[in-house]
A and B are shown apart, each in its own frame.
Chain A
Amino acid sequence: MKQLPINILLTLATCRLTSSETVGPTPTPLAPVSSLPTNTKSVHLTGDNKIENVELLNPVNLSLECIWTGNQNKQPNITGYWRKGGMEIQDSRVPVDPENQQYTLQRVFNIVSEEHLGNYTCVFENEAELDFILAVPQIGERREKPIVSYVGDFVVLTCKMEDNKPVPRTWNWFKNNGTNKEQLFEAQRYDITVNGRSAKLKVKDVSEADSGVYHCAAVYNISTSTSKMHLKVITIWEPLKPFLSILVEVVILVTAILIYERSHSKKKEAEANGPNADPKNTQPQGEDEEAEESTSVRQRKT
């Protein structure tokens, strides 16, 4: 008799387990809509087609509102609808009546995960429209030029989220391996340091295989924001080439200058000795300067 409640409990437990297994491949159960916080973004259309950037980190009920002041036509009613990613959202067409000479279009969006982010457009048919770009905070500084390092040296790759942007939950580092990204973890050659807003990846004892594209990812609840950088590994031979060519140029210059001066001074001494030459003097203009000197000294003494 005592076994029955236990059996019921066990059955209930297994039922629960099996029921959660058979639900399907959704990653996480969606939080109930009512428990999400609500944000509102309200924008006035001023005539120029504007873009409004909205930064989101957490799942939220986002209420987007477009207010248009109308034009000379003063039409009684206009159709308004919403687009996501350029395609019209189904059942979003509503007639809009002017209130105090303003047309208002408003809709609440349930933004929970990455596929809900993107480009939302509110459209007043044939009149005006505005884009809302929903995204995670983007990493500001992007290094366009490749980071260079030498074989055997170490290199530090850094990513920093600007101070006016929210702190990510964590950071991840990836390296491009062929067509896919491979995540890097703390290992013998990799040192990963995460400090709230900034993350550093230190690659030690770099080799040419470490060249490639690296990604740093700032993880937020709703999605991740990535930035990529290019690491280029070169050998010492690269700068050695211009260095050696400069060295050769210096040696050539110095030798040329010294040779030129030698020949020039020999010519000058030939000229100097010419008019002063004693008829008895048959000393050839040789390389031996001292011999020349002693000869001319002998001349002067007489």
Chain B
Amino acid sequence: MANGKLKSQSQGDGAEGPDGGWGWVLVVAMFVSTSLVFGLMRSLGIFFVEFVQYFEESAQAISWISSIGLAAQQFFSPLGAALCNAYNARLVVMTGGFLSGLGLILASQATCLVHLYLSMGVLSGLGWGLVFTPMVATVMANFTRRRALAVGLGFSSIGLSSFAFNPLFLLLVETYTWRGALLILGGLSLNIMACGALIRPECLSKASTKVDSQSRSSQPDLLQRVSSYLEVSLLCERPYLTYALGVTLLNFGYFVPYFHLVAHSRQVGFSEYRAAFIMSAAGITDIFGRIASGWFSDLGRFRVVHLLTLWSFLAGVFIMLLPVSSLTRSYTVMIVISLLYGFCSGALTSMVFAVVPMIMGVERMMGGLGLLQLIESCAGLLGTPLSGWLRDMTGNYTASFVVAGSFVLLGSLTMTTLPHYFSCAEPPPPQRPVLVDNSETLNLELVQKDGCSPEFNHQTAEQRER
């Protein structure tokens, strides 16, 4: 019986798993919520000037607001994942949407800088952290063969919304000043709650399986429960650690061009307008890269890890080529390299997330993603100041770009040390051992009644009848 149970679970992850249907609705929900999280974060620069003028503070003090927001989003990701494991994703995402909207609404009433740090930084960051990881994990759990495409489509919103939000925010600030604009943005962020409402309670609710397997021991230790929700056990597994290391190295170099490309182009001698356009070109191909790589990887010709290595290798090479091409002083060469870089960096983003379930299995994906976000946040925070410091040391951006590119290349090389890397076929995803026995299959079925697909019920009925 226990074997039969395991088999039905693995079939759920394999070829007969969910693909499409309600999953596409969730992709739309992810599209909207990701744009309201990351697209919003990237366009907060519009408020920068207003805050500097109103609060009469230095640029550094003001830029801490977005740093705190980003750090909070990444730091609270494991918390969001754990809460999803403990309760359900819908509740967590709706709470996250509410908190992020509340943070912005409170920020509109701020009278000093600390208010902004706490409301726009910590509170909204907490909300964003509770939204992003659960949303991504839910979408990935709802797809098997089209997983990368779904994720790529969801992430394409980041690039699109950065384009759309910049003029929109400018208009809001001009009409209502920053206070009114933040109030309206808070309202817009509440739409994340609608996205969260679209998530249906899962068939294999993790909380129930956990609770059941642990109800055998009379009083589950709180620490045990928390550590299992956070998937801390993943930290002891070599594949996950290798992958986390690789992603961390990628993150060291990944953000550098976004921060420094414009300044570098200006230093080379291009005008403000042309330098900004180089950045926009990278942003446009970024969108296409995400969708195209998702679609391509789902064709199944190549393994996802191989594609990830390919894209990150190319991205690293192009990052290194950026300062080299600026030596030629040719605008077209810079545009071309920047387009290629944008495509590769978008492509690798889709792959980074699509590989996760291959390494740790779909059930542990939620917690794994949360931990991954936390680990890579350190790299993201350190990478840009490091490149800035290199620039101050050497006087131009060549060194920082070369170092960033080499970090990305190192990351892609680390990926090659993942187990079963050189095999052509996809290895079976590791299963989480679920201890079940007769009395518990009953409880499991009870739980599965919530909004389950009829096929599942039939499957379990079949197992029982054997």
Contacts and interface: CB of A to CB of B under 8 A. Distances in A.
Interface stretch (B7-15, B349-357, B449-457): B449-457
Interface string B424-458: 00000000000000000010011001110010010
Contacts of A238: 176, 180
A257 B194 contact: yes
B193 interface: yes
A258 B199 CA distance: 10
A297 to B, nearest CB: 7
A240 interface: yes
A297 B446 contact: yes
Contact of A148 (B176, B183, B451): B176
B184 A239 contact: yes
A268 B197 contact: no
Q: Is the interface of B mostly helix, strand, loop or mixed?
A: helix
Contact of A253 (B176, B187, B197, B445): B197
B464 A250 contact: no
B445 A297 contact: yes
A243 B197 contact: no
B186 A243 contact: yes
Interface in A257-300: 257-258, 261, 265, 268-269, 271-272, 276, 289, 292-293, 296-297, 300
Interface string B181-212: 10110111011011001101000000000000
Contacts of B457: 272
Contacts of A242: 184, 187
B327 interface: no
A239 B53 contact: no
Contacts of B188: 246
B452 to A, nearest CB: 8
Given A257-B197, A300-B461, A246 B449 contact: no
Contact of A246 (B177, B187, B442, B445): B187
A121 interface: no
Interface in A215-247: 234, 238-240, 242-244, 246-247
Q: Is the interface of A mostly helix, strand, loop or mixed?
A: helix
Contacts of B191: 246, 249-250, 253
Contacts of A258: 197
A150 B193 contact: no
Nearest to B454: A272
Contacts of B454: 268, 271-272
A156 interface: yes
Q: Which of A243, A247, A253 has the most CB of B within 10 A?
A: A243
Nearest to A146: B174
B218 interface: no
Contacts of A300: 445, 461, 464
A187 interface: no
Nearest to B54: A156
Contacts of A150: 177, 179-180
Given A234-B176, A243-B187, A250-B193, 6 more contacts: A234-B180, A240-B183, A246-B190, A258-B197, A292-B449, A300-B445
4 tightest Cβ-Cβ pairs between the two chains A and B? A239-B180, A246-B187, A253-B194, A239-B176
